[in-house]
Chains A and B, each alone.
Chain A
């Protein structure tokens, strides 16, 4: 998708003048950006720049002190997290955040919660609707397990997976909520080269399925490789936004990451 057609579309996510403060600490200050449908958008910045707080604000786990967040042309500021998920914004946490004892298949199935509707009575009476929904859920889970290359682990508890597998499990579980926008929190952190390549392929496949991707990641090389556009933050503020090549060469970015250039 070239940049021209992106300009013509209404943005999928618009963050306007976002500020988040914890007491007197201003974690995010007057931040604004837009993400368009179908792109892979990256957010980078040194530790403590406020990246995770931006994710928290978008998914409703931290209330913004100022500003608005619009998704698909609707204001989602102040909605509860589960309501935001239902609208199509989901966050894949880091691997430490899983359901540890839950079998991998059921783990993914939990992600289907907001797209299914079997009630307590439906479950008790085993109504035709609930049975149909359960069968459909099983199929969907099978698909997602295949997609994330975890089929053989379906019955094992999530905690028995390796770090990289747990990250893929989180991705599959988040995809089960059928999102329009997925937020990935350091998807390749702690992985070896092979695992990173596998994850990159997965992220590309996710985008191909029509899901817009928003990534926080420390691995600059990877970000340059996969992102369409990158926003750089430092001290809670926007430093620069642009295509990877521009961002990588920008003196402000180099300074933020490496300190002042000598001589």
Chain B
């Protein structure tokens, strides 16, 4: 049943550029794709493992800056920069996660908040490396000649497909992991940490696995973002960004692929349609968040699933 939904959604995403002719909307959709990768990775930490991270964007920022710096300052091409940048994010998250994940509950949340703050401050002040207020001149991936085809990433459509490939990969990866032994370990930690430990789950180890995987995926999203935008600012690693991601997953519905997609889509496009000025976005976020938390604590996907078991079958 769900395989049909996956196929349908996949096809829809693939055909989207044929329907949408406007470069502006394609640009927006590509950014939403990057957000979907981010939100899905946060779901691994927040939804499955039950850790409230208020600093997930820090790893998005670290990935973006690492990839950006590798390309602008060290002359690496796109793909090696993306790989090395993600690897760097992976290592940083492991080093930071090792002490941080011993902290529990609200203290962990506060710790991650501080982490995001520190990362933005470091990026902002290390201007010789990071360019300070912004790092610009990050090139697009080079043109690829493949069997007579020319793949040129300066086209909005091509970059959309590049991001889409990573969206598919990230969602598939997370689905596979969460429906298996490691995924059950993550969930057992969220459900009842003491019992999980008593049943032989190494709590710190599995928290760390979830945290490092999610952070690395966020780093990849950062690399995609850096090359797409061409210039990046320290704020992408900040608390506001992290908070947005958390709002997206809560509203969309944690532990569901639907939620990981609907959350970013909704919070990205609704303000567009409302034509609200940027200034009112936080207000809008706050309002939606309140309504959802009160009327659908499991998010939109959770609410839909709870309507009827038949409907639940169709909500991945």
B296: min CB distance to chain A, Å: 16
B202/A82 in contact, CB under 8 A: yes
Given that A82-B200, A118-B181 are known contacts, is A126 also in contact with B176, CB under 8 Å in the complex?
Answer: yes
User: With a CB–CB cut-off of 8 A, which chain A residues contact B180?
Assistant: 118, 122-123, 130, 134
B198/A113 in contact, CB under 8 A: no
Q: How far apart are the CA atoms of A183 and B188 in the complex, in Å?
A: 20
List residues of B (188-232) whose CB comes within 8 Å of A's CBs: 188, 191-192, 194-203, 209, 213
Picked from B184, B195, B202, B209, the residue with its CB within 8 Å of the CB of A109 is B184
Picked from B173, B184, B188, B200, the residue with its CB within 8 Å of the CB of A85 is B200
User: With a CB–CB cut-off of 8 A, which chain A residues contact B192?
Assistant: 97-100
A90/B198 in contact, CB under 8 A: yes
List residues of A (155-177) whose CB comes within 8 Å of B's CBs: 173-174, 176-177
List residues of A (83-134) whose CB comes within 8 Å of B's CBs: 85-86, 90-91, 93, 97-102, 106, 109-111, 113-114, 116-120, 122-124, 126, 130, 133-134
User: With a CB–CB cut-off of 8 A, which chain B residues contact A101?
Assistant: 191
B194/A123 in contact, CB under 8 A: no
A-B contact pairs, 18 of them (CB 8 A): A59-B198, A61-B198, A80-B197, A80-B202, A82-B200, A85-B199, A86-B200, A90-B198, A99-B192, A106-B184, A113-B188, A113-B201, A114-B200, A120-B177, A123-B176, A123-B182, A124-B177, A126-B176
A113/B200 in contact, CB under 8 A: yes
A174/B213 in contact, CB under 8 A: no
Q: How far apart are the CA atoms of A110 and B180 in the complex, in Å?
A: 10
A10: min CB distance to chain B, Å: 24
User: With a CB–CB cut-off of 8 A, which chain B residues contact A106?
Assistant: 184
Picked from A91, A116, A126, A130, the residue with its CB within 8 Å of the CB of B198 is A91
A40-75 Cβ-contact flags toward B at 8 Å (1 or 0): 000000000000000000010100000000000000
Q: How far apart are the CA atoms of A100 and B191 in the complex, in Å?
A: 7
A114: min CB distance to chain B, Å: 3
Picked from A82, A111, A123, A173, the residue with its CB within 8 Å of the CB of B197 is A82
B198/A99 in contact, CB under 8 A: no
User: With a CB–CB cut-off of 8 A, which chain B residues contact A80?
Assistant: 197, 202
B233: min CB distance to chain A, Å: 33
Interface residues on A, range: 35 or more
B187 located at the interface, meaning its Cβ lies under 8 Å from any Cβ of chain A in the complex: yes
Majority DSSP secondary structure for residues of B touching A: helix
B185 located at the interface, meaning its Cβ lies under 8 Å from any Cβ of chain A in the complex: yes
B199/A111 in contact, CB under 8 A: yes
Interface residues on B, range: 20 to 34
Which residues of B line the A interface, CB within 8 A? 173, 176-177, 179-185, 187-188, 191-192, 194-203, 209, 213
Q: How far apart are the CA atoms of A80 and B199 in the complex, in Å?
A: 12
A113/B176 in contact, CB under 8 A: no
Q: How far apart are the CA atoms of A91 and B196 in the complex, in Å?
A: 11
User: With a CB–CB cut-off of 8 A, which chain A residues contact B209?
Assistant: 120
B213/A120 in contact, CB under 8 A: yes
User: With a CB–CB cut-off of 8 A, which chain B residues contact A118?
Assistant: 180-182
Q: How far apart are the CA atoms of A173 and B194 in the complex, in Å?
A: 14
Picked from B173, B176, B185, B194, the residue with its CB within 8 Å of the CB of A97 is B194
A97/B191 in contact, CB under 8 A: no
Which A-B residue pairs are the 7 nearest by beta carbons?
A114-B200, A123-B180, A85-B200, A99-B191, A118-B181, A81-B197, A124-B176
A174/B199 in contact, CB under 8 A: yes
Closest to A97 in B: B195
Q: How far apart are the CA atoms of A68 and B194 in the complex, in Å?
A: 23
Closest to A155 in B: B309
User: With a CB–CB cut-off of 8 A, which chain A residues contact B191?
Assistant: 99-102
User: With a CB–CB cut-off of 8 A, which chain B residues contact A137?
Assistant: 181
Q: How far apart are the CA atoms of A85 and B202 in the complex, in Å?
A: 10
Closest to A114 in B: B200
B301: min CB distance to chain A, Å: 15
Q: How far apart are the CA atoms of A116 and B180 in the complex, in Å?
A: 11
User: With a CB–CB cut-off of 8 A, which chain A residues contact B198?
Assistant: 59, 61, 81, 85, 90-91, 93
B176/A82 in contact, CB under 8 A: no
User: With a CB–CB cut-off of 8 A, which chain A residues contact B187?
Assistant: 99, 102, 110
Closest to A173 in B: B199
Q: How far apart are the CA atoms of A137 and B203 in the complex, in Å?
A: 21
Closest to A179 in B: B200
B199/A123 in contact, CB under 8 A: no
Q: How far apart are the CA atoms of A27 and B13 in the complex, in Å?
A: 63
Closest to B205 in A: A82
A174-199 Cβ-contact flags toward B at 8 Å (1 or 0): 10110000000000000000000000
Q: How far apart are the CA atoms of A100 and B187 in the complex, in Å?
A: 11
B199/A113 in contact, CB under 8 A: yes
User: With a CB–CB cut-off of 8 A, which chain B residues contact A130?
Assistant: 180-181
Q: How far apart are the CA atoms of A90 and B194 in the complex, in Å?
A: 13
Closest to A176 in B: B199
B54: min CB distance to chain A, Å: 24
Q: How far apart are the CA atoms of A245 and B150 in the complex, in Å?
A: 89
Given that A82-B197, A174-B199 are known contacts, is A116 also in contact with B188, CB under 8 Å in the complex?
Answer: no
